[in-house]
Structure 1
Amino acid sequence: MAMKQNRRSAIKSMLAGTAAIGASGTLSSFALASANISESSLLKGNINHSVCRWCYADIPLEQLCAASKNMGIKAIDLVGPKEWPVLQQYGLYSAMCNGAEINLVDGFNDKAFHDTLIKNYSEMIPLVAKAGYKNLICFSGNRRGKDDETGWNNCAEGLKKLMALAEKHQVILVMELLNSKINHKDNQCDKTSWGVELAKRVGSENFKLLYDIYHMQIDEGDVIRTIRDNHQYITHYHTGGVPGRNEIDDTQELYYPAIMQAILATGYKGFVAQEFLPTNPDKMASLKKAIQICDV
């Protein structure tokens, strides 16, 4: 008796002879549609996929949501309360909320911005919780001549004022690690070690880090070892090809399947969001390929 085929093998057999398998070795959208099969059903389910809204700003949100849903993406990153109803309409999650930050350069490391930030985050945290979401992004801000100790102390002072509220609503304030070499000159939280030290000083499970793989490859490298050693302080991941922040395929230097395997090995159950700028005119094709690359 022949052994029972698994789902993936059965689908391939069912579509044999219909040009379903192209040169890339993946099933074509046309063949899937003809067989009434969703692309999302072919994903392995180990990685929770998300995508950053700003990378597709020229595409209507409804269109991005529909395409994302079809290819197995479960969430959209970096959208605020006004756009949450659109995500909900398509059954998508808001994996990393925004809207409370002032900008990327005026952050918690400067006391001059604390009153505004505390007001903004105090108003946003309950909204995030009410909508059923968990992560809310924040930033250190630029150094502007401040040494590490001053930056840590100022950030911790401001963030601690929000921790009781965050803990009450089970919302996590998430500081993104941004490179200061290329994209965000003078950003203070530009290395994992800096963010980890801040997390230790804040001392709450409701403050974590967003490990942006693109940014940290530029400023420190050693991506897999860093993830293994510091995963307990990380609650979210972003992707991007290095150099250039474009597609994460073989045109760049990072091998994302190994990075995804390393993330999974830590026991991570959160989201990995694609945050690259497509060079391919067919942006959805690039996004679909990135999901396939990361679907380990």
Structure 2
Amino acid sequence: MKNHSSRRNSIKTIVAAATGVVLSPVGSLAACSQPGGQLQLKGNINHSVCRWTYGHLKLDELCVLANEIGIKAIDLVGPKEWEVLKRYGLDSSMCNGAEINLVNGFNDPQYHSTLVKNYSEMIPLVSKAGYKNLICFSGNRNGMDDETGLTNCVKGLQQVLPLAEKHGVVLHMELLNSKVDHKDYMCDKSTWGVELCKRLGSANFKLLYDIYHMQIDEGDVIRTIRANHQYYGHYHTAGVPGRNEIDDQQELYYPAIMRAIIATGFKGYVAQEFIPKGADKRASLRKAIETCDV
């Protein structure tokens, strides 16, 4: 989900590496983190960070850094690595691993049988591990009109939502921009995603509102959050343009956005999903948490 190196490729690399890596003892990793101590966070935002954007670190190293800063969870982690999170007392704030990919999703009936099988297997695992959120995707249009896509998504998701409701798991369809990063992706506007939520009518289906993506495709971020917050179960951050640090070199003012999210009564997670380009990538994450902790 970036211009030069996609989230798809990053996730594949991380998953492949996870099967063969020998995890280092916790004590030996302490030197990997930057000094500075845990931030004095206000407690209004539940902070998380996406695994793939810090893929240059071993998961153990990222967990040490998260604990040092005061981050409560790691986003986009699958079952093979949940035990690592538990070792460090961290939540898996958005689980993944049931999706086929970002382009073949619930809007195309030819993938329904595979998706239903994948999600039917994953949902109980998420629940058993003590987690709640599981990501899903609409898929690309491939010439399909929005109404057909909505109808197809409803048919596919209705086959797994009863199981999600039974296990207390919430499926989150991510809103991605189709202008820059994910050409042809269908769930690229909040209006389309909200309509899907309304048609499904389940508290166990929500949208992952990615602030970076929605700034690119529709803007009007704060008003949209206020108007549709009941349909948003999770948030991602990144700087626009470029998907890098959320600093003064990009156009979004994150403190105001975070205050708007808090004002809706949101109690879920806000996950940092920027791609750090600064020389001190650990400091970039620390600064992002400070910026968003309002």
1:281 to partner: Cα distance:
2.0
Q: Which residue of 1 aligns with 2:227?
A: 229
Matched, 1:139 2:131: no
Q: Distance in 2 between matches of 1:45 and 1:207?
A: 26
1:111 to partner: Cα distance:
0.1
Q: Which residue of 1 aligns with 2:38?
A: 39
* Count of aligned pairs: 261
> What letter is aligned with 2:134?
L
TM alignment of 1:1-296, pairs within 5 A: 30=35, 38-40=37-39, 42-296=40-294
Q: What's the TM-score, normalizing by structure 2?
A: 0.88
Deviations 1:231-258 (A, max 9, x none): 0000000000000000001010000000
Contact 2:107 2:138 in 1 (8 A): yes
Q: Distance in 2 between matches of 1:61 and 1:267?
A: 31
1:76 to partner: Cα distance:
0.2
> What letter is aligned with 1:239?
T
Q: Distance in 2 between matches of 1:135 and 1:56?
A: 20
Q: Percent identity between the aligned chains? A: 72
Q: Which residue of 2 aligns with 1:16?
A: none
Over aligned residues, Cα RMSD in angstroms?
0.8
Deviations 1:61-85 (A, max 9, x none): 0000001111010000000000000
**SS state of the match for residue 39, structure 1?**
coil
> What letter is aligned with 1:228?
R
Contact 2:38 2:67 in 1 (8 A): no
Q: Which residue of 2 aligns with 1:23?
A: none
- Select the structure of larger CA radius of gyration: 1
Q: Distance in 2 between matches of 1:251 and 1:191?
A: 25
**Gaps (5+ residues) in structure 2?**
1-33
Q: Distance in 2 between matches of 1:164 and 1:49?
A: 29
Contact 2:132 2:170 in 1 (8 A): yes
**SS state of the match for residue 82, structure 1?**
helix
> What letter is aligned with 1:188?
M
**SS state of the match for residue 135, structure 2?**
strand
Contact 2:154 2:199 in 1 (8 A): yes
Runs of 4+ in 1 over 3 A off after TM superposition: none
Contact 2:134 2:171 in 1 (8 A): yes
Deviations 1:205-254 (A, max 9, x none): 10000000000000000000000000000000000000000000101000
Q: Distance in 2 between matches of 1:106 and 1:294?
A: 33
1:139 to partner: Cα distance:
0.1
**SS state of the match for residue 182, structure 1?**
coil
**SS state of the match for residue 96, structure 1?**
strand
Q: Distance in 2 between matches of 1:46 and 1:208?
A: 21
